[in-house]
Amino acid sequence: MNGNSFELLKNSWVVLRYTLFEVSGHKISILSLLSAVAIFYTTTLISKMAERGVRRLLAERKDIDSGMKDSILRFTRYTILVVGGFVTLDTVGIKMSSLAAVGAVLMVGIGFGLQNITQNFISGLIILLERPIKVGDLVEVKGVSGKVMEIGARSTLINTRDDVSIIVPNSQFISEQVINETLSGDKIRYRVEVGVAYGTDPRLVERILDEIAQKHSRVLKSPPPKVFFKGFGGSSLDFSLTVWVSDIWSYESILSDIRFMICDAFKEEKVEIPFMQVDLHMKDKAKIESPVLS
């Protein structure tokens, strides 16, 4: 190494060590900033590697559902990132006491402009801990219905049956009424209601509806389907066929198939599905004429 190269290295080292500013008496230089960036970048890589490792371990556990696995993966990554963040701040001389002062300032900012972001972030942590919803659930919140695809730190991604992706803030799942169709299990009961004309044998209708439910390949046999005689309507005898299905995502096509089968079976058995009838009574015009005022 010649003298010029040595002098260049010496000058470069001086520049890297040059104090840009001070934080609580700790001198911040270009070198310390580069070290902080390198530490945080390394922490990010470690968090991703740890997430992949935990994912492989959890893949072998069949007793843990997918929602719990997703929560464990996210907490693993967040924990490593938080620890790495503290180490990074310590590298540039920012201690916990300094963070407390900065935190007081941030709380003022949060109170004025960042409350929604903070609320959604805390709601995301509550969702991961309490797990009122999880990835793969079919939910409905504020008129939005679909499958939960991803639960993020700020928002949740929902994919509707029309293949439309909707981003919903996490706070809505905490503060609003949420319908979770799969919270209690992977099957749900649906109803198909139909009316038949008066004079039709109710037992015949019961047999037809039960046979249709038993024939459908995607209707569960346990719990078994049931037929209920709901009542005497204005122009029909009203029945309800209840079926259990596990393919909740495609329940609309299942119910549509059942309705087609009901129409075909009723046509074959000559069972009439009546239309609404309205009786119109006309009064004598002479009786409703206004009296003549004298």
> 207-221 pLDDT, tens per residue?
999 999 999 999 999
> Would you say residue 292 has pLDDT above 60?
no
Annotate 165-199 with b (16+ C-beta within 10 A) or e (fewer): eeebbbbbbbeeebebbbeeeeeeebebebbbeee
- Whole-angstrom distance, CA of residue 242 vs CA of residue 224: 9
Cα dihedral 176, 180, 183, 184, rounded to 10, equals 110
Contact 128, 151 (CB under 8 A): yes
* CA-derived radius of gyration, the chain: 34
What residues does each domain of the chain span? 10-130, 138-180, 188-268
Confidence of residue 5 (pLDDT cuts 50, 70, 90): low
User: What is the overall mean pLDDT for the chain?
Assistant: 79
Task: Average the pLDDT over 228-250 and give the result.
Answer: 91
- pLDDT tens by residue, 138-171: 888 888 888 998 888 788 999 988 888 999 999 8
> Rounded to two decimals, what is the model's pTM?
0.56
CATH number of the 138-180 domain: 2.30.30.60
Q: Which of 107, 83, 104, 85 is nearest to 94 (CA)?
A: 85
Of residues 131 and 189, more confidently modeled? 189
Give the three-class secondary structure for 28. Answer: strand
Indicate the DSSP class of residue 249: G
Structure tokens at 119: 């609320």
pLDDT band at 49 (very low <50, low <70, confident <90, very high): confident
Q: What per-residue confidence (pLDDT) applies to 240?
A: 96
294 pLDDT above the threshold of 50: no
Tokens of 98: 């300094």
Residue 146 CA to residue 125 CA, distance in Å, equals: 21
What is the band of 192 on the pLDDT scale with cuts at 50, 70, 90?
very high
The residue among 79 and 71 whose pLDDT is bigger is: 79
Do the domains 138-180 and 188-268 sit in the same CATH topology, yes or no? no
188-268 topology per CATH: Alpha-Beta Plaits (3.30.70)
Cα–Cα distance for residue pair 110/287, rounded to 1 Å: 75
* Strand 138-141 to 144-151 pairing: antiparallel
Provide the CATH topology of domain 10-130: Helix Hairpins (1.10.287)
Placement of tokens 């909707």 in the chain: 166
